[in-house]
Structure formats: C-alpha cells, structure tokens
Structure 1
Amino acid sequence: MKILLTALNSKYIHSNLAIRYLRAYTEKLDYDCVIREFTINDILDRVLEEIISEKPNIVAFSCYIWNIEYIKSLAVLIKLVDPKIQILYGGPEVSYDSCKFLKDAAGEYVIIGEGEETYCEFVKLQIENFRNSGRENSETDFLKLKNINGLCFKWNNKIILNEYRRLMDMNRIVFPYKVKEDFQNKIIYYESSRGCPFNCKYCLSSTTAGVRFLNIERVKAELQFLMRKNIKLIKFVDRTFNCNHEFTMKLWKFIIDTDTNITFHFEISADILTEDEIELLQRAPAGRIQLEVGVQTTNDRVLNNINRHVEFQEIKRKVKKVEKNHNVKQHLDLIAGLPGEDFSSFKKSFNDVYSVKPEEIQLGFLKLLKGSDLRKDAKNLGIVYSPYAPYEVLKTDNISYEELVVLKRIEKMVDKYYNSGKFTHILNYFTTKFKTAFDFYYELGMFFYNSGYLTRNISSAEYYKVFVEFEEQYLKEKNVELNEIIKYDYLKFNKKRWLPDFLLRYRDKYGEKLIKQKIQDKDIAVSKNYYLEKFSINIEKLLKSSLIEKEDGYVVFDGERELYFFGHI
C-alpha cells in the first residue's frame, strides 16, 4: 500500500513540517510512504501528473488557508483520473466544520486537530484492508473506522464524525527530519512546544488550553543534528516561544553558545521578556537570533476587543533594550481591520511602531480563521469578511473597504522599501518632510497607484528612480542632495560598476587618481574589484548622524567595506 503525503507550500523555500511528522510517526509500519512537496505557484496540470505518476492508493493533503482552494481543485482532478485513489485531508483549514467540508469535497477522510496518532491508527487499518483487498466494505470496517478518534469520514453517502482525540504528550512525537534529506535553500521549521498561554480571539491557538513542551535535552540534540546540515534559517513555529522562562533561557543560551552560522527565528511576546533574557540576547552573535513580535495594534480599547492584554509602551521599552547591541533582528507585526480600529487609530498604531525603528514591520490584514472566536462573533462585531480562503476582512463598522485598499498600497511600500533595508537613507530623507511616517508611505502608495507602478513589473533601478519623480510631483522640489543619497543607497546594495542614467555623476579623473594614490601610499588593502564614486555630500556624516552636509569627497565600495575620503583631496 502506498500513501503520498502531499504539501502545497506557498513558496519553494518553505518546507512542510506536518507531513514529515506523519511520516516519522509511522516509519515502523509496513507501507510505502512518500513525501512530495509542490507550491501553489506550480501549474495544476503538472502537479496532477506528478501525483498520478506515483500510483498512490491514498493521497494525503496538508491544508492551510493559502492552499485549500488549490487542493480542492486538485482533489477533484485526481478523482476524475482515477476514482480508486482515496483522499485524506488534514491541517488547520479542515479541522473545523469537517463534516461540511467533506460533504462538499472530493475525498473520503479528514483528520481533525493533531494528526500523528490519528494518522497512525488510520494507516494501520488501511494496511490491514489492503492485505484483505477484494472484499466489499463490511460492518466490521465501519466499526474500525468509527473507533479512530479524531477522524471524520464518508460511509455510504453519509458523513461520520468520530470523537475528538485528546492532546498527546509532546515527547511522543518523532523527530521529523532524516539524515539524507536535502535542506539546501530551504527554510526549516522546528517545534519545541505546542499551544499558547494567551487567548487572542483571532488566533486558533486560543482554542487549545495549556502549553506542552519537548524535553529540553531532546531539543538540543535535534538542533545539533540540524546544525550539521547546510541550513541558513530555522524557524521555530512555537506560538509564544518565551512563555516559559526556564525553557527559554536554557535554549537561547545553547543556541548562542554553539558555533554555527544558522539564524534562528522565534515568535515572542516582547512585553513578558525578562531582564536576564534581554541580557542573554544582547550577547548573541550578530545574525544568530531574530525575533517576531506581535504588536497588532497600540489602541488599548481594540486590544481589549480581541482579548489581548498588553501595553505598547512596555513592548517598546523591551524592544529598544534588545536593540541596544544591534545584534538581534526584530520584526514587529500590525493587523489592519481589527474590531474597533478605524483608519485614524491604525495610523497612530503604525506611527507608534515605526518610531521603534525595528528591522522589519509587517502590515497584515485580519483573517477570520475557521474555529476562531472572532469568526464566531464577526456579525456582532460588525466585521464583513470574504467567504473564500484566506477569509480576509473586507470592511468593518469602523473601517471601510476603500480604506483597507489604501492600507494595502501602504503595505506594499513598507515591504518593498522599509523591510528590504536597501533604501534606508532615502526613506530617512523623505520621512522628515512629512508630518508622520504614515503620511509619507500613504503619499508614496498613492503615487505608485496613480503612476501605474502597482500594475506592472518595474526594474530594480526604477524602484530608485521613482523617488526623483515623487519629489518633483508631490513635494515640488528637485534637490541635488536626494540624487546623492539615492546614488549611495543604490551603489551600496546593487553590485554594479555603473549607475542608471537618471543619477548625476561627477567624474574627476585627477581626483580619482589622487584617491588611488592615497590608498597605495597608506598601504590600504582593497580588492581588485573595488568601486570608486564621487559625492557632493559627506556620506560618512550622513551614515553616522543622518546630517546632510555639502562637501565633495569619495567613497570606495569594496564588498561589505567602505572607505571615505572627504575634505581637501
């Protein structure tokens, strides 16, 4: 018997943890278990061909809000090509309203909630049935299926929902990664705990009481295995990693003290960070740890509406402390469309978060997940959301559809310009010319929309050029200083030995000769591929203090290193 564990990931670099758990938990069973991973950007016909070519008896899908529509279409096609192939669904997107889902979907089975033990019992039964193939379904088969807790299934045109399964001991799960598995160019997901101590109404974790942890020594051993692989990023999927102080301290200390080039990503609640945790983070090697901090909103009334009880000033204080040594990357999240938050309130939330200057700001939009408390109470709260996955909010009593569309334009600007880190000095130049940072990103988003840039692909050079146009059209200005700032940011992050035509250049062969002679006389080590560019402002002072001071000079770009020559040459 062959089961094809199938994942439709959102991107190629992602890996699916759930299907690996299922394979690992049943590795001692006598069946052919194959993992296949695709992306939602793959052509449907090609994925269908790949699945059919495996000749599986059962295809099992890992279902989420980003892939469920694709999976439902794929399942229909599988059944049309080969009706004998049975289909099993699992994951958060099918764990609620399972009967309704299975009634409308092509397929026979749904695993509800945690899947390891349910899947194991299901596989054992399928192995037994496969050995007895040729007989017709019997009452005995029905009773055996009915005894598998956590399973929903079709039987004689009826949908049967079994009893729910109790949560398992975390230490019974089996390490999901294999020795020969290729991890190159992949983000690896790891789970050291399940559950969350908080009860935010928009989150599915609030539906499960308590938090369960793996044994800390086991976690260390498994991470050591992964550290020996060619991995760049390990993302912990724990909902609130730092909810257990002792566990957090031991694991962060282990990760910080280990010799590795891997970056570890954690979702945390910054407000509950302790002083010793912050001190520990401050001694982490640069690039070793990155933190994702859920702010969502800085409006206390809105936070109360979603059953979230934090104070932004406390989050800000902790985040700024972590930032002290500039060695830990921090990513702060906001959610637009929360009940009770209007456009003006979200603007304030955005400006509050922007004032912290984290490495990344994620501007997300409320999604009403199946099973969440917020979805159940959506009508009373005045929330209108799409009935199609990912169930995103369309409007509320407080914010209109048109206002959310504007925020999506702003989100694109923030993600492209702020989060990339490649336009830092350009952004600093512009934000000082507007009343607030939000006002700048609003106007930039409107400029992109009105200029048609949001509906076509533009080159990397054009992403810089738009600022020249933006300054002329929106600020009615044309400053040479902006040209120099754009030129610096462009050369810093685009490894080319030329500049786009829209940027002014100041060629001075005599001055360049003097700089090269200085480098030689002072015996300054530079590579053969260094690049020399003249500027009309002092770039060194700009980088140190954001001050724009007119002063001719040169910058030597040599890989990650820069040399500055200003004043009398």
Structure 2
Amino acid sequence: MNVVVSTLNAKYIHTNLAIRYLKAFAEPDYHVELAEYTIKDPAINIVTDLYKRQPHVLGFSCYIWNIEETIAVVKMIKKVLPETVIILGGPEVSYDVPYWLERIPQADFIVLGEGEETFKQLLDEISGRKNWSEVSGIGYLEDGKPKINPQRNKLDLRELPSPFRFEEDKSELSKRVTYIETSRGCPFRCQFCLSSIEVGVRYFNREAIKEDIRYLMAHGAKTIKFVDRTFNISRSYAMEMFQFLIDEHKPGTVFQFEITADIMRPEVIDFLNKNAPKGLFRFEIGVQSTNDATNELVMRKQSWPKLVRTVTMVKDGGKIEQHLDLIAGLPEENYDSFRQTFNDVFALRPEELQLGFLKMLRGTGLRIRANEHDYVYMDHSPYEILSNNVLSFAEIVKIKQVEDVLEKYWNDHRMNETIEYVVTRSFNTPFDFFQSFGTYWDERGWGRIGHQLEDLFKRLQEFLHAEQPDKSEEIESIMKYDYLMNQRYKPRKPWWEPALDKQERSLLYQKILQQPLLLGTEFAKLGLTEKEMYKHTMIEPLSLSLVDGKWIKQNNYLFVYFEPTTGRPSAFFMESEAATSAS
C-alpha cells in the first residue's frame, strides 16, 4: 500500500513535525513517503507531484495557515485519483468535525487530536477489514451522516519513535528550521489558545531527545526550534536541557524556545548569562496584553513585574535575543488600552516585537463565548477578528498600519539609533510614532510595493520633513550614521546627496592624513594610506555627534572606514571647528 503524508508549510524553510511522527510510528509496518510543499505553490503543481506518486492513502496535516490551500488540493486530487483514500488531521480540523465533513466531502476520514496511533490503526483497517468503528479518534460519513468515534487515551510519549532519522531529511537539515518537542500540553488555560483544551503536561524521554539533538547537529541542523508551549514550566528540566545544549552545541547552531517569562527564576537567568554562548539561545515570550482586566477575562495568569524582571535581566546579559508577542483584539482591550500595552512592552526594547491580531480558533473558549464581547470575525481561516464591543474595524485598521512599519523599522534593525532617537525625543510615545508613520505610509500606498534599503530611509525622511520639519535635519544625521554602519562595504551611492564636493572632501582627507589624531587614537592606529582613504572610507558633515552612546548637538564630520577584508564599518567623529583650526 502506497502511503503519502503531506502538508503545505507557510515557507520553504519550515518543516512539519507532525507528518514525521506519523511516518515514524507507522513504519516498518507501512512505508510512508513525506511530501512537503508551501502555501505559495500553485495547487496544480502540488496535485501533479502527488499524482506522480500514485498514493493509495494520502494524509494532510491541516492548520489555519494552510487549510484553504489544502482544500483546493484535496478537491482536485479526488478528481484525478478518485480511489485514493484521503485523511485529514491537525489542529484546524480536530474541532467542529461535522462542519469539515460537510465542507470537504472529498476527505474520507478526519483524525482528531493526537494522530500517531490513530493513523496507524486506520491504515490497518484500510488494508484489512475496513471496520471503521474499530478506529478511535476519527470522524467520517456513514450513510451520509457524520460519525465520530471517541478519542483514545493519550499516548505514552516516552515510547514514541524518533521522527528525525529519515535519510531523505539529511540533505535539508542545514537549510531549514527543525522543530522538536520535548513535551505536549500546557499548564495554563488561556482562552484564545488551543493548548488550553488539553489538560496536563506530558514529557518525552529526555535521553532520547538528547540523542536526537546530537544526531541533528551532527548532520548539519542550524536552527532547532522547540515547540513546547511552555519550555520552562519545570525549572529542573529546563536547567538540565540548557546545560546539555551549552555542553553539546556546535558553533553556528541556534536553539529557540517559547518561555513563560514571569515564572522564570532569576538564578536560571544568572546561569544563562554566565554560561550560555552569545547567540546560542533565542526566547519567544507571549506577553499578549499588560491589561490585568483583559488577562483575567481570558484566564491568563501573568505577573507583569516578574515578566519585566526576566526580560530586563536577559537583555542586560547580552547573550539571548528576545521576541515578544502582543495580541490586539483581546476582550475589553480598546485602542487606548492597546496603545498602553504596546508602550509598556516597547519600553523593554526587545530585539523583536511581534504585533498580532486575535484569531478566534475553533475549539477555544473565546470563540465559544464570542457573543459575550460582540466579536465579529472572518468566517474562514485565519478567523481574525474584525471588531468587538470596544474595538472598531477602523481602529483595527489603524493598528495594522503600526504593524507594517514596526516590522520594517524596528524588527529588521536597519536603523536602531534613528528609531531610538525618534521614539524618545520626537514623539510622545513609541506607539504614537509608529502610528503616525504607519498612517502616512498607508495613505501613500507604500505597503503595496517593494522597498530597497535606500527606499526605507527616503520614506522616513519624507515623513519627518512633513511631520516634524524642525527636527528633521538632526534626525537625518543619525539616519546617515545608521545607513553607513549597516553597510558591509563602502556604498557606491547613498540615499542622500553628498554634502561635500570632490575638492572639499580632498582637503579634509589631506588634513586627516597630516593629523590622524583629529579622529582619535583608535583611528590613528589604523595607519591608513591616502589610497586606502579614498578607496575604503566616506566622510559626511553631521549636525549631531555620538558621545558616550548619546547624541548631542554639535557640528562635526562623520568618518567611516570599511575594513576591506571583513567589510565591517568603523565610525569616527571630528568636530568641524577642529578641522577648521587644523588648517
């Protein structure tokens, strides 16, 4: 029997852990092929590839980000391979099963919840007696009516075979994100999350997990992401795994975790700050809201002071990047309250701040009680909210404007000094800057076109000229600094018109060659020749200078040297008066 398990990932670099567990559990009794695609692939291309495989059984792993594209593929596959048994599974189809059976009649079976044992048992019946009532945890049509068999008891995760030892995966490990889980379930009851439905936390075999990680690193895996809902729920377990990863890691490998920040003990952070190599770990922290009343309504227990302590300690340690998440649209969080939440979290200056919008997932308590807060949301995935009793659609549109520029101007770290200066000195709050700029951006249709790095600087320059003309010149000085310090090599043509002509630049270079200490002792140590100066440096007058990490008003020259081997830029400042007196 030819069995294929498939999914449509959001991006090529992603891999699907679920179908690998299905394959590992079904073998060696059944040979199972993996077939991964992306939601950007044309449906006809996916169907063509699957058709060539001629599967007797074809399974799809379904999520909110791929369900609509998967349905299109399923409908087409059933037309060209009508005898193929199609099985759907995954979190998106595990709830409201009668709805899915009616909407996707081309699907022969739907697997509910944890699928490894159910999938194998279903394969046994497909190849044997075809007694579907014997298979726990499936939904199907019987005499045109939905039939749902009760789910089986939870698996003993310690007995599950490894999903990582497949020969066909080896060549891709260095190119893609590898997902790994060491536990299933979540101890918390957040009503917007599917994890709130499963009671309790179960762990995999620790030693087997460690062997899998050793195997993955030995075969080139670079990014390994733990999908445990709360990796640090057990302090002793988290400490054991952190120590193992520090001891066993290979250079260039990054491990990502979803952690609950307010339960992380200071001694754990101290340990990581002292012992973890920089860049080895990355934390994802779901803050969602800092409004206590909102958190209480969604049964989310969160101590904001303890969360701030954790995030601050980690940031001060300088070893671990942090990605913090917010959700707009939670109960009783209006526009002003969300503005406060954004400013509270931005004040922590996380390396990434992800602004998301509430999705009314099937099976969650918030969707079941949607009428209590007058939620209006999309009928199809991703079920994103359109409004509720305290947040209008117009206000959601405004927050989406913030999301666009936040991603480009903060999370991508193209101009850190500029944004820091703007949000602290030019606008009342960080949110006000991102909202004003986001609205300006949207009104000009910039969200619908592509952008080179130079374009991003020009867009911000235009906005500042229009919004705050009295401050635009000094901010442009910082923008020029940011631009040059983010270049690998001397740019051929910067985004601004050079303020110095060829003769002025030559005069300054001659002064610097004669008196290199004008740019400080560190520059003088470089011992640059005239040829190296012209080939590998830029000089530009600014109205601000960076002194001890702070920008002060002072007319000066910014001199940037691009080291030719590494491309790494070094910045030096020279006061305009010093340059004049040196002549």
TM-score w.r.t. the length of structure 2 is: 0.90
Name the stretch that deviates more: 512-521 or 465-474: 512-521
Post-superposition Cα deviations, 1:371-405, rounded to whole Å, max 9, x if no partner, equal 11111000122211111101111101010001001
Answer whether contact 2:22 2:116 (CA < 8 A) is retained: yes
State the shift of 1:557 in Å.
2.8
Answer whether contact 1:540 1:564 (CA < 8 A) is retained: no
SS in 2 for 1:468: helix
In the TM superposition, 1:170-249 aligns within 5 A as 170-178=157-165, 180=167, 181=169, 182-249=172-239
Answer whether contact 1:199 1:206 (CA < 8 A) is retained: yes
Residues 1:126 and 2:113 aligned together: no
State the shift of 1:156 in Å.
3.9
Give percent identity, aligned residues only.
34
- State how far apart, in whole Å, the 1-side matches of 2:551 and 2:524 are: 31
Q: Which residue of 1 aligns with 2:385?
A: 393
Q: Which residue of 2 aligns with 1:499?
A: 493
Name the stretch that deviates more: 88-97 or 551-560: 551-560
Consecutive unaligned residues in structure 2, runs of 5 or more: 517-521
- State how far apart, in whole Å, the 1-side matches of 2:117 and 2:110 are: 14
Q: Which residue of 2 aligns with 1:132?
A: none
Aligned residues: 555
- State how far apart, in whole Å, the 1-side matches of 2:343 and 2:110 are: 44
Post-superposition Cα deviations, 1:269-291, rounded to whole Å, max 9, x if no partner, equal 10000122111221211111111
Distance 1:61-1:547 versus aligned 2 partners, 3 A rule: farther
- Whichever residue aligns with residue 355 of structure 1, its letter is A
Answer whether contact 2:484 2:560 (CA < 8 A) is retained: no
Consecutive unaligned residues in structure 1, runs of 5 or more: 129-139
SS in 2 for 1:388: coil
SS in 2 for 1:380: helix
State the shift of 1:225 in Å.
1.1
- State how far apart, in whole Å, the 1-side matches of 2:571 and 2:429 are: 34
Answer whether contact 1:537 1:548 (CA < 8 A) is retained: no
State the shift of 1:183 in Å.
1.3
Answer whether contact 1:203 1:369 (CA < 8 A) is retained: yes
Runs ≥4 in structure 1, deviation > 6 angstroms? 525-530
Q: Which residue of 2 aligns with 1:50?
A: 49
Which of 301, 306, 319 aligns to 2:298? It is 306
State the shift of 1:460 in Å.
2.4
Post-superposition Cα deviations, 1:165-211, rounded to whole Å, max 9, x if no partner, equal 11111112221112532213211111011011100000111111110
- State how far apart, in whole Å, the 1-side matches of 2:122 and 2:138 are: 8
Q: Which residue of 2 aligns with 1:271?
A: 262
Distance 1:520-1:470 versus aligned 2 partners, 3 A rule: closer
SS in 1 for 2:387: strand
- Whichever residue aligns with residue 293 of structure 2, its letter is R
Residues 1:522 and 2:525 aligned together: yes
TM-score w.r.t. the length of structure 1 is: 0.93
Distance 1:410-1:462 versus aligned 2 partners, 3 A rule: same
In the TM superposition, 1:131-530 aligns within 5 A as 141=130, 144-178=131-165, 180=167, 181=169, 182-260=172-250, 261-283=252-274, 284-431=276-423, 432-477=425-470, 479-495=472-488, 497-506=491-500, 508-512=505-509, 522=525
Name the stretch that deviates more: 261-270 or 477-486: 477-486
State the shift of 1:488 in Å.
2.1
Post-superposition Cα deviations, 1:292-328, rounded to whole Å, max 9, x if no partner, equal 1111111100010100121222211211011112111
SS in 2 for 1:242: coil
In the TM superposition, 1:534-545 aligns within 5 A as 534-537=539-542, 541=546, 544-545=549-550
Post-superposition Cα deviations, 1:125-169, rounded to whole Å, max 9, x if no partner, equal 2333xxxxxxxxxxx53xx32111111123343322111111111
- Whichever residue aligns with residue 93 of structure 2, its letter is V
- Whichever residue aligns with residue 192 of structure 1, its letter is T
- State how far apart, in whole Å, the 2-side matches of 1:185 and 1:266 are: 19
- State how far apart, in whole Å, the 2-side matches of 1:561 and 1:228 are: 34
- State how far apart, in whole Å, the 2-side matches of 1:368 and 1:2 are: 37
